[in-house]
Every structure is written in C-alpha cells, then in structure tokens.
Amino acid sequence: MKDTLFTILQVAGREIRRMTSRSMYLLVTIIFPVATTLFFWSLMKEGVPNKMPVAVVDLDNTALSARLVRNIDATPLSRVVSHLQSESEAMSELRKGNIYGFVVIPYNLQSDILASRKPVISYYYQNSFLIAGGLMQNDLTYILHTLSAGVSKQKLEAMGQDENKVMASIQPIVLDTHLLFNPFSNYSAYVTTIILPIMLQLFILLMTVYSILIEIKEKTSREWLRLSGKSLPLALAGKLLPYTVIFVVIMMFQNFMLYKMLHIPQHAGFFGLAAVSVLFVLSYQAVGIFCAGLFPMMRHALNLSAFYGILALSLCGFSFPVEYMPAVFQYWAEAFPVRHYMHIFQSQILAGFGIEYSLLSYLFLMLFLFVPFAILFRLKKALILQDSIEKV
C-alpha cells in the first residue's frame, strides 16, 4: 500500500517536471480555463440584453403616435435609434443590421381609432438570432398590446365606467409568469453555469490525451511504465493526479465566480460542490484515457476527443432540449458526463431538491470511471511498442 502510494507520487513528480518544461501545459491547464471563465463572466455581465436598437416609421405624427414612440424607447429592452420615412427604408436598415426591429404607425392612426375603424399597426423584427429575436417579439407585442388596452380603457372610461371595473373588463385574466426554482430571469446565469463546464471538459480531455500520448510520440513511454512498476493503472494515476488537482481547483474557481461573484443561488454547499467537481473532472479524465487508448496516435486521439468535446455543446441539451431530438441522439447524449453534471446542477445545486432526484446522474458519472478498463490492454501494448506507433 505504502509502495503504491510512493509510486504514484513518484510518477506525479515526474509529470510535474514535464509540465514545467513546456508552456503548452500552463496554457491549457490554467490560462485557457481562467480566460474563458473571465470571458463569459464579463461578456454577459448585464444579465439581460438591453437597449437593442429599433426604428419607428411614424406616418401619423399625432400626440398618440408620439406617445407610442416614447413608450417603446422607455422599455429597458429597446431604444429608438431612428425615425424613418417609409417602410422600405426601415426594411433596408433591418437588412443592413443597424436595427433589430421596427414599428410602422399608419396614417390617421388617431382619427381611425376615434372613428372605430380598427387601424393596423405592423411590427417587424429580425428573427435570425435566438435571444434577440425572441426578446424583440415579446417586447414589441407587449408595448402594442398595452397601447391597445389603453385605448379600450379610455373609451370605456368615456362611457362612464369606474377605473377598477374598466381594468377588470379590458383584462379579466392577468397572466403572471414565474420561473421555477430560479429566482433569476437572468440569462447570463443560465448560459454561464453550463458553458463553463462545457469549456472545461474540452481542456480536461485535451490535456489527458496529450499527456498520455506525448509519451509515445517522444518515445518515453517505456521509461514512464518502468517508473510505475510496469503497472498501467498506477502509471495513469500518478500521471493524471496533478491534472486532477489543477482542474478541480479551476472548477472551484468557476464555482466561486458563479455563486459568489454573479450571486447565483446554490444549495449544495462547499463540500457538495467540491464532490461534484471531483466527479466531473475524474469522469472526463476517464473518457480522455479511453480516447487515447482507442487511437494511441496523437493526431487521431486528439481529433476524436475534439469531435466528442465540441459535440457536447449540442448534445448535452443546453442549446436545444434532448427530449425533442431524434431518438438516436437521446441515447447518444447519455454518453456525455456534462449532461449528467447539468442535471445535478439544475436539480440539486440550483433548485435544492434532495439528492435522491439526481442519484441516477451521480451513478452515470461514476459509470464513466470504468470506461478506461475497456482499453487498458490496448493502451499498454501501444505504450510498450512506442517505436512503431507514431511514424511521422
């Protein structure tokens, strides 16, 4: 037992010496992860996009239309940047990308309303962007419905009804929307909490594959195995231990940024978060070992892990819910530790549900730890045959 521990520490010491010999290690283990954390943190610091540029085409030019324009400008989401003369001019501005949407206020709006002629107000928005398009539509719809309700209200009041009664009669049912277990309607909280682990898994995968296969590429793998008493599990444990420590620290730094700096609520506590982080890092190191063993050639293993890592962005269900994908992708999605991490995050960490609701996800994460055993012999053979594997 003591010998085992000693061997692991010896191999870890060797790895740390290797790590300090090249700037790439520093880049991928520390600088890149910290840089991405700061990037996503600072990019969406506002939480909700605000003051998106819109235009109005005011053909009416009355007190009523002027009030409408002021109302659009006053919402936190949009800012009226230009008053244009025609619909085609506004359309061209939209195509140029200068505005996200525009409202056309027709001729005789005020007089048509007074004469009960039901004038048409048209609004247009750019719907090629997911968030901007959705928010723009909500915002413009809301403002114009408010205007419409305001007109009804005035008319009813003119008919002599009292104010409370008027409100109940123009809007009998009020819809009140809440977010379940997330007091933030903050978009950045939603994006950063998932995108940071997705970025981190890329670095863990890369570093695991690189640190193992560089031994074959530089023909030092036999020496590495000798130092580990010819035991591959010990060799891997010693080699990957320094990375486990670094990546867990990085992940805790990300947690610090999310829960302390961005003030996202969490219910797991320090040790709960640390436990999830350790499991997350270990499961990706296991997948990394698997990639390295499956294709013990640097170029192919790196390509494979890059392909797998990038796909996690789509298949973890963060962008588009997995339940709505074709069946084959629903099974495939289970093969990404980050998907199970996301469940744990949403259920246990963010919503504070009992651990029994995320037990299955923990189980899946632990299952990944056994994946390397499938290729252990193949990897060992490759490490011994170092000379004939990588022929450049």
Partner 1 sequence: MIKSNRQVRFSIGLHQILAAMLQEIRMIGTDAGVLIIILAVPVLYPVLYSFIYYPEVVRNLPVAVVDHSRTAVSREYIRHLDATPEINVTCTTPTMEEAISAFRRREIRGIVSIPESFSSDLALGRQTTISAYADMEFFLYYKALVSGTSFVTIDANKNIQVRNLMDGGLTAEQAEIMAEPLTLSDNAMSNPSGGFASYGIPAALILIIQQTIILAIGIVAGTLREKHPAGILIVHDHRFAETIRQLTGKAAAYFLVYSVLSIYMLKIIPGLFGYSDNLDFYELVVLISPFLLSSIFFGLALSVFFRNRESPMMLYLFTSIPLLFLSGIIWPLSGFSPLWLAVREIFPSSDAMFGYIKMSALAADLTETGREISNLWLKTFICFVLACVLYSGKLIQQKSKLKTGHGIQLQSG
Q: Are 212 and 292 in contact (CB under 8 A)?
A: yes
Element (H, E) at 78: strand 78-84
Candidates 50-58, 230-238, 274-282, 372-380; binding stretch for partner 1 (CB under 8 A)? 50-58
Tell whether residue 158 is a contact of partner 1 (CB under 8 A).
no
Nearest to 68 by CA among 144, 135, 157: 144
Q: Which is nearer to partner 1, 253 or 357 (CB)?
A: 357
According to the binding rule CB under 8 A, does residue 195 interact with partner 1? yes
Residue labelled with tokens 């270990």: 282
Task: Identify which of residues 203 and 280 has a Cβ nearer to partner 1 in the complex.
Answer: 203
Site residues for partner 1, 335-354, by CB under 8 A, read: 346-347, 353
Task: Tell me which residues in 76-105 interact with partner 1 (CB under 8 A).
Answer: 79, 91-92, 94-97, 100
Of 4 and 39, nearer to partner 1 (C-beta) is 39
Binders of partner 1 among residues 355 to 374 (CB under 8 A) are: 357
Contact call for residue 128 and partner 1 (CB under 8 A): yes
361/42 Cα distance (integer angstroms): 31
Listed ranges 130-138, 244-252, 283-291, 365-373: which one lies at the site for partner 1 (CB under 8 A): 130-138
Beta carbon nearer to partner 1, 8 or 212: 212
Q: How far is the CB of 322 from partner 1 (least distance, A)?
A: 9
Tokens of 78: 């949009």
Strand partners, 103: 56, 123
Q: Give backbone dihedrals phi and psi of 244, rounded to 5 degrees, phi first.
A: -55, -50
Q: How far apart are CA 94 and CA 150, in angstroms?
A: 29
Nearer to partner 1, 75 or 126 (CB): 126
When asked if residue 392 is in the footprint of partner 1 (CB under 8 A), the reply is yes
Query: Running DSSP on this structure, what letter comes out for residue 80?
Result: E
Candidates 6-14, 129-137, 242-250, 252-260: pick the segment binding partner 1 (CB under 8 A): 129-137
Structure tokens at 329: 């992708």
Contacts of 84 (CB under 8 A, 6+ apart): 55, 56, 57, 90, 93, 102
Kindly tell me which residue out of 70, 230, 299, 381 binds partner 1, with binding defined by CB under 8 A: 299
Residue 154: count other Cβ atoms within 10 Å of its Cβ: 12
86 pairs with which residues across the strands? none
Q: Which of residues 206-265 bind partner 1 (CB under 8 A)?
A: 206, 210, 214
Eight-state DSSP code of residue 253 = H
Residue of 9, 51, 61, 83 interacting with partner 1 (CB under 8 A): 51
160 binds partner 1 (CB under 8 A): no
CB-nearer residue toward partner 1: 45 or 381: 45
**CA–CA separation, 311 vs 2, rounded Å?**
42
Per rule CB under 8 A, is residue 388 in the interface with partner 1? Answer: no
Cβ neighbours, 10 Å, residue 282:
20
Complex with partner 1: residue 279 or 302, whichever CB lies closer: 302
| 131 in contact with partner 1 (CB under 8 A) | yes
Tell me the two tokens of residue 309: 């890592």
Here the tokens at position 375 are 């290729």
Q: Which residue from 132, 248, 335, 367 is in contact with partner 1, where contact means CB under 8 A? A: 132
Q: Which residues pair with 83 in a beta bridge?
A: 56
